[in-house]
């Protein structure tokens, strides 16, 4: 618990220290130019890497060379609260992510999420959820990448939950490829430790992308089942290799 408190204090200090840069980047982000994305992501990527380093965990990224140029939709399993800083810190490509509407209430953090073009989704309201999906599709069409977790919530390191097929329309309608990603080990940092932070071995495996041309001819329900099975299979391989 002490390590977690220390990490939260450092986060608050960090957020205060980068306030001037946050205001500058917030203005730049309003241009909605994908050429700005690398600059807009520098600070959050630095934070993500440092945040994971504070846990004492080791991180291995496998298959990053498979990520294509241009906008993509990363689709992965969701183990832990630490998945986001992990991906921000260790995947070089800039991206935003689809987040629960509750995160919009977090001071300063929500502004940084807006800067990197995250989309806030209220799943309790069908009307608002559809509007958020349209916003996300617009981001992708404009050349920005996004991460989605089609489980809709954390699985806390247990069995991967069923994927919601509707979320995959972001890639299909946004005319971007899907890049499947497998996350293993982040729940060992926090969720499996009675809310204490401990070092863990974490692996992110990037799988072969699915071209948008292929997505146009696939049923979203069938695709969600296929992606779920593929990610689960690769996750089990990682699990057995680490035993």
Q: What CATH number should be reported for the domain holding residue 237? A: 3.40.1130
Q: What is the pLDDT of residue 239?
A: 87
CA-wise closest residue to 145 among 122, 101, 179, 120: 179
Q: In the predicted model, what is the mean pLDDT of the chain?
A: 94
**What phi and psi, each to the nearest 5 degrees, are found at residue 184?**
-135, 130
Tell me the CA distances in angstroms from 17 to 10, 20, 48, 134, 191, one per residue in order.
10, 8, 16, 34, 29
pLDDT surpassing 80 at residue 233: yes
Domain count, the chain: 1
Q: Which domain holds residue 229?
A: 2-241
* CA dist., res. 43 & res. 66, Å (int): 24
The two structure tokens encoding residue 7: 């990490």
Confidence band (pLDDT; 50, 70, 90) for 123?
confident
pLDDT surpassing 70 at residue 40: yes
Tell me the CA distances in angstroms from 94 to 2, 86, 188, one per residue in order.
32, 13, 26
Instruction: Quickly list DSSP for 97-164.
Output: EEEEGGGGGSTTHHHHHHHTT-EEE-TT-HHHHHHHHHHHHHHHHTT--EEE-TTSS--TTSSPPPPP
- Other beta carbons within 10 Å of 229: 12
pLDDT digit string (tens) for 143-181?
A: 999 999 999 888 887 889 999 998 899 999 999 999 999
Q: What is the pLDDT of residue 154?
A: 82
* CA dist., res. 162 & res. 141, Å (int): 27
pLDDT more than 70, % of the chain = 99
Residue 59, strand partner residues: 202
The two structure tokens encoding residue 103: 């995160």
Q: What is the pLDDT of residue 124?
A: 85
CA-wise closest residue to 70 among 185, 195, 177: 177
Q: What is the pLDDT of residue 243?
A: 66
Residues 6+ apart with CB under 8 A from 23: none
* CA dist., res. 34 & res. 142, Å (int): 7
Task: For the sheet with 201-206, list strands across it.
Answer: 58-62, 201-206, 178-184, 73-76, 146-148, 96-100, 119-121
pLDDT digit string (tens) for 192-209?
A: 988 789 999 999 999 999
- Other beta carbons within 10 Å of 222: 10
pLDDT digit string (tens) for 59-117?
A: 999 999 999 999 999 999 999 999 999 999 999 999 999 999 999 999 999 999 999 99
Q: What is the pLDDT of residue 155?
A: 83
Q: What is the pLDDT of residue 241?
A: 81
pLDDT surpassing 80 at residue 238: yes
pLDDT more than 90, % of the chain = 84
Confidence band (pLDDT; 50, 70, 90) for 41?
very high
pTM reported for the whole predicted model: 0.94
């Amino acid at each position: 618990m002490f390590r977690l408190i220390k990490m939260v204090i450092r986060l608050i200090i960090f957020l205060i220290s980068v306030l001037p840069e946050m205001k500058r980047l917030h203005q730049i982000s309003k241009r909605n130019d994908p050429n700005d994305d690398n600059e807009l992501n520098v600070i959050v990527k630095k934070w993500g890497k440092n945040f994971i380093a504070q846990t004492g965990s080791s991180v291995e990224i496998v298959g990053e060379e498979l990520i294509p140029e241009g906008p993509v939709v990363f689709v992965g399993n969701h183990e832990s609260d630490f998945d986001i800083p992990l991906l921000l810190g260790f995947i070089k490509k800039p991206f935003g992510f689809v987040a629960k509407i509750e995160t919009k209430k977090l001071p300063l953090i929500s502004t940084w999420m807006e800067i990197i073009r995250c989309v806030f989704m209220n799943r309790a309201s069908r009307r608002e959820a559809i509007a958020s999906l349209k916003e996300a599709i617009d981001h992708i069409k404009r050349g920005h990448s996004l991460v989605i977790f089609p489980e809709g919530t954390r699985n806390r390191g247990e069995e991967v939950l069923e994927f919601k097929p509707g979320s995959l329309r972001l890639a299909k309608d946004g005319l971007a490829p899907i890049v499947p990603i497998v996350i293993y080990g982040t729940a060992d940092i926090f969720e499996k430790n009675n809310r204490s932070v401990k070092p863990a071995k974490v692996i992110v495996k990037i799988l072969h992308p699915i071209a948008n041309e292929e997505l146009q001819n696939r049923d979203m329900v069938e695709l969600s089942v296929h992606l779920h099975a593929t990610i689960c299979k690769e996750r089990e391989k990682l699990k057995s290799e680490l035993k």
